[in-house]
Structure 1
């Protein structure tokens, strides 16, 4: 039978793990989006070498599992003088991994903006910066919303493997409770519910973001 006392007894550990999951994912995603934009700028260069570096980075981080990348950072890092805590490794891992996907999302968003709109902005006397701020970026942000939200959700769910490198997030809490109580159902039901709440909140936020962007463009 489902033992509710396990949840009531260990809920502080669950809450602490849930908070850590939210904070780590938020930091990793924010940094990943920022680094992804920088990567896009590198890949958008007219020079061959920056473009090659961009393609190499994207292919490397999208072509290898996040778990392998985390192992290399956490256990292999000290061989190269990179000594990071489990939490710092988790944030850095999510940043590097997510940036490869977000960079490609940005690239697709900018490429889908009709060239005629950029030409029209230039004909109206807008500078390249004004064109970027008032024409390209607002449309790009609207075009990429579904992809960004989808990728964000995938990364949040993949963050569960941070428990492998002892990051004290919600999955780690569930594993610890399961080990101490010899119960499987209760801890993992709560774990599933925790991720469902996070993903639902992100999905709802994406819908609000999309509505706001559509109102901005329709002005």
Structure 2
């Protein structure tokens, strides 16, 4: 095993890792925002709207991310939707992640004690304020582990973006393997980068959970 190859291709791998992190951050943020919107609309809309949203959730959760990405990037031009690789990857991650985030938020909302919501309504609090000041902060405590866990899953889904030539970490390690024919070193670098990435996210998630719980205890 020749580790000097990793050092030689280090700048290329770091550039790919940076793109991976950016795609993950934006895809996770947009996916969570869309998922939250879906969960709120499901909670307060009528039955037909809930059925439409539930069909969307089941379709996205029931199909592989690779298939969705192919349809978006290669099938999109057939209906006039032409996206460059990175925007297509971000849209793909957003669509893929939103149903899972929606289900996490929906479960978190249902875990909020009904008495808190009834008390807020009794004092005349608007439903939007109830969502912002009760459902989200209280539900976030129970939802945070699931949110962090799915965010970690999304880090690994970013490797699929290499299929549509997004120059993220997987794409760069494949290029490194092609140029050097050293597959062990390339995949070792890939595994090391992702292990560090996941560890950082896990530690941030644990700290957030502690801080949010402490904040709610201090407010109560």
TM-score normalized by the length of structure 2: 0.95
Q: Distance in 2 between matches of 1:201 and 1:98?
A: 20
Correspondence 1:125-164 to 2 at 5 A:
126-164=125-163
In 2, the alpha carbon distance for the partners of 1:135 and 1:156 equals 30
Residues 67-126 of structure 1 show CA distances to partners (whole Å, capped at 9, x for unaligned) of 000000111011011110111111000000000100010000000111012223344564
Query: Normalising to structure 1: TM-score of the pair?
Result: 0.95
Distance 1:130 1:83, change over 3 A: closer
Residue 29 in 1 paired to residue 28 in 2?
yes
Counterpart position of 1:177: 176
Residues in 1 aligned to 2:122 and 2:78: alpha-carbon distance in whole angstroms: 56
C-alpha change, 1:23 and 1:84, in structure 2 (3 Å) is same
Question: How far off is 1:38 after superposition?
Answer: 1.3
Instruction: List gaps (5 residues or longer) in structure 2.
Output: none
**Closer, same or farther: CA 7–137 of 1 in aligned 2, 3 Å:** same
Distance 1:117 1:168, change over 3 A: same
Which residue in the other structure is 1:105 paired with?
104
**Secondary structure of 2:104's match?**
helix
Task: State the match for 1:61 in structure 2.
Answer: 60
Q: Which residue pairs with 1:191 in the alignment?
A: 190
Per the alignment, residue 217 of structure 1 pairs with 216
Mark the runs of 5 or more structure 1 residues left unpaired by the alignment: none
Instruction: State the partner residue of 2:9.
Output: 10
For 2:33 and 2:126, locate their aligned partners in 1 and report how far apart those are by CA, in whole Å.
Answer: 24
Aligned residues: 218
Q: What is the SS of the residue equivalent to 2:182?
A: coil
1:46: Cα distance to partner? Answer: 3.8
Once the 2 structures are TM-superposed, how far is the Cα of residue 65 of structure 1 from its aligned partner?
Answer: 0.1
1:199-210 correspondence runs (5 A): 199-210=198-209
Structure 1: distance between partners of 2:189 and 2:74? 30
Q: Name 1:167's counterpart in structure 2.
A: 166
> What SS does the corresponding residue of 1:207 show, helix, strand or coil?
helix
Alpha carbon RMSD of aligned pairs, Å? 1.3
1-side partners of 2:126 and 2:83: how far apart?
Answer: 44
